Structure 1
Amino acid sequence: MTQKMQYEKAYRPEDLTRFFVERSNAGDADGVAALYEENAVMAYPPGQTTVGRAAIRDLWAAVLANRPRFEPEEPLPTLVSDDIALTSTPPGDGAGARAQVVRRQPDGSWLRLLDQPEFRN
């Protein structure tokens, strides 16, 4: 019997970005995938979409195999309407932005529903 890993939950939309950086830098693709809803959509790789938590997990396993290093980025102000929020961060190089639509879960935590990792001006 396999035991499912329990991850700290995001109780503020902005926590998702911090957890992403922590888990990515630890090489934890399962932990990154746990930040997404089951049917989430990610606009990555460029020009493509990755749909579903399992596919997002597989994508991040491949990306993290190269041991990239992610730096924390200061979040821009979050827009919240009921159980939906828009989070975003400016990349360190100042080019483009990153944006995510996140949804409050029944337990009060937040997960990513739509993820646009980067778009350029």
Structure 2
Amino acid sequence: MSTSSDLLAAPRTPDELSVQLVERLTARDVEGVVALYEPTAVLEMPDGRLAVGHDDIRAFYARALAGHRPIRAGIPRRPLVRGDVALSTTVLPMDAGAGGATTCEVARRQPDGTWRWIIDRPSVR
């Protein structure tokens, strides 16, 4: 069975990371979501603990996607890019369960020209 990540090319710009995250979350494609992160990336979970690396990030998203809540896309702001590093933010809608929070992510350009997140704080209040 193919997943959405099989059909999508790897993100070629930092903007594409957020777009693909929403597509993969909507498809409940945990492996596709994990592929958007570097293998040693860090993600801050809602309780403040850190998910470090693909295994922890996979476990977090598997739990998060186990519910049947619809995924609501936020409004991404233009990433700030300096060389091979980018800072991105997305304003989440009030009804997305995040109370109008903003996300904050750091991405790095990979040797093949694609981009992956290295740091992810999904909810900044």
TM-score (norm 2): 0.86
2:113 equivalent in structure 1: 108
- Find the aligned partners of 1:69 and 1:56 in 2 and give their Cα distance: 20
Sequence identity of aligned pairs in percent?
A: 37
Aligned residues: 116
- Find the aligned partners of 2:73 and 2:90 in 1 and give their Cα distance: 10
- Find the aligned partners of 2:87 and 2:72 in 1 and give their Cα distance: 21
Q: Which has the higher helix share?
A: 2
Corresponding residue SS for 1:77: coil
Corresponding residue SS for 1:115: strand
Where structure 2 has 5 or more consecutive residues not aligned to the other structure, the ranges are: none
Does the CA contact (< 8 Å) of 2:15 and 2:79 recur in 1? yes
1:79-118 matches, within 5 Å, as: 79-93=80-94, 95-118=100-123
Larger mean CA deviation between 104-113 and 62-71 belongs to: 62-71
Where structure 1 has 5 or more consecutive residues not aligned to the other structure, the ranges are: none
Runs of 4+, deviation exceeding 4 Å = none
Please report the RMSD computed on the Cα atoms of aligned residues, expressed in angstroms: 1.5
- Find the aligned partners of 2:74 and 2:102 in 1 and give their Cα distance: 11
Corresponding residue SS for 2:55: helix
TM-score (norm 1): 0.88
